[in-house]
Amino acid sequence: MNRNIFRKKPINDLINTDNSDKSLKRAIGPLSLIIMGLGCIIGAGIFIVTGIASANYSGPALVLSFIISAVACVFTALCYAEFASMIPISGSVYTYTYVAMGEVWAWMIGWVLIFEYLISASAVAVGWSSYIVGLLNSTGFILPKIITSPPCTGLINLPAFLIIALLTGILVLGIKESTRFNAVIVLINVFIILLFIIVGANFINPANYQPFMPYGWTGVIQGAAMVFFAYIGFDAVSTAAEETKNPQRTLPIGIIGSLIISSILYIAVAAVLNGMVPYNLLNNAAPVTFALEKVGANWAASIVSFGALFGLTSVLLTSLFGQTRIFYSMSRDGLLPGVFSKIHPNFRSPVLSTIIVGAVASIIAAFLPLSVIIELVNIGTLSAFIFLALSIIILRKQQPDIERKFKCPLVPIIPLVSIIFCVFLIFQLSSTTLERFAVSLVIGLTVYFAYGYRKSKLKDKKTVEPEDELHCELKGYKFNNSK
């Protein structure tokens, strides 16, 4: 068993799945992929995290915090881009870890990603519900608390349930329809952000930038650790690898392009926001709207407030999308029941997987309160980033001759920097979060040995190990290894 749990997925098996009856429809181009990435990144974070980080950590130097976090994310994005161009198959870090480190590690990361996307989707749905209820209240249309709150304070969070149900239906229709819907939402969201930047720039008071670093460099670094989580989401782009046209070229463009654009928007918002009002006034849940109201631009504040709803919708859609693709990949490998990898003959999407994920997420959002689940999302994502960087280093050493359309520069330096930064951020989280994460990993291992280990499609198959003597050529992918 000890050897079997570390069995690795041969890359040629992954490439073969691209022509199987369980392959997904390739319909996403580079522009759609960049838009998908923006939808993951510039959601609620740009409207919430900026104010809290500025007031409590960075002050006007928040722009430096965003720059530091952006650089750290670029290191991870370069690792993603290499793997995505080399293995253009659904599954993200789960698939990459399966190839480089073995089945049990792949399972653990897959398990972590399942909870990351599922909990994230449920949390965003609860936030979406709060936002829509607030907007309706401002118009005089009051929804009863019994249908807008979970048990203990109400009966059910119906708006959260309904938005997940709606987006699940859109995802069932297929990736082409889903990306079109997402594109409309993201473009509206970007327009709202640009509106704030343009309007807010007219109310900048240079005096508000003093003192520039009220908490010193320590505050700037702590602020960077916090706003790093505003960037989390670009990893969801890699889950669309199997549905992307010309993935070896398109995926690196989508991953890195969306990260660069979102970084520019974040830095611009931070600069304008801190110029409009003193940093110590920004410690609230809606700093962008607050700043506009503070300077008297109430008409713009109303538009921005409404636009934030679109940002939340986009994040929710991409979270549900990423979850279903992780389920799909693990199911196709036999580690989860086959129901999750069944493809609809017309839509070419994993319909049953999408419906099951949507049902579970909607139930969580409808009946559970929002508490500390965001930290669980963060630790899961950071763990995945660490395994991604480790996999880059390992595969460069073990299989250097694999064709890579895009190569992460300065390996192993850049992956090691990514690992160090992620480990540092993990230990900034509370001890309670670390304990809960450890418990979830124990549960995950239990499920693996009870089901995944016995049902794995690699169980009775000889896998390709890097130390084996072989030479095979498949669809332009070359493997030349010798002892």
User: Residue 92 pLDDT > 70, yes or no?
Assistant: yes
User: Who wins on pLDDT, 176 or 9?
Assistant: 9
C-alpha–C-alpha distance, residues 242 and 262, integer Å: 24
The per-residue pLDDT for range 16-51, each reduced to its tens digit, is: 655 555 566 777 788 888 888 887 787 656 776 788
Mean pLDDT of all residues in the chain?
82
User: Residue 431 pLDDT > 90, yes or no?
Assistant: no
CA distances from 410 to 71, 79, 417 (A): 15, 11, 11
User: Who wins on pLDDT, 284 or 260?
Assistant: 260
Q: Token pair of 122, please? A: 């449920």
CA distances from 273 to 47, 59, 267, 281, 362 (A): 10, 11, 10, 11, 34
C-alpha–C-alpha distance, residues 259 and 34, integer Å: 9
* % of the chain at pLDDT higher than 70: 88
Beta-ladder partners of 477:
474
C-alpha–C-alpha distance, residues 464 and 395, integer Å: 13
Task: Mark 294-327 as b/e (b = at least 16 C-beta within 10 Å).
Answer: bbebeebbebbbebbbbbbbbbbbbbbbbbbbbb
Confidence of residue 183 (pLDDT cuts 50, 70, 90): confident
pLDDT at 18: 53
pLDDT at 378: 67
User: Who wins on pLDDT, 282 or 471?
Assistant: 282
Tokens 């928007």 belong to residue: 265
Per DSSP bridges, beta strands 470-474 and 477-481 are antiparallel
Total Cβ atoms within 10 A of residue 30: 17
Of 288, 341, 367, give the one whose Cα is nearest residue 125: 367
pLDDT at 152: 72
C-alpha–C-alpha distance, residues 205 and 343, integer Å: 56
Of 289, 34, 293, give the one whose Cα is nearest residue 183: 34
DSSP per residue over 49-89, as a string?
HHHHHIIIIIGGGHHHHHHHHHHHHHHHHHHHHHHHHH---
Q: Token pair of 41, please? A: 């990144």
Confidence of residue 72 (pLDDT cuts 50, 70, 90): confident
Q: Token pair of 472, please? A: 């095979």
pLDDT at 467: 40
- Measured distance between the N- and C-terminal CA atoms of the chain, rounded to whole angstroms: 25
Helix, strand, coil percentages (3-state) for the chain, rounded to 5, are 70, 5, 25
Span of 10-14, 253-257, 353-357 with lowest mean pLDDT? 10-14
Omega before 466 within 30 of 0, i.e. cis: no
* Sign, Cα dihedral of 428, 219, 384, 183: positive
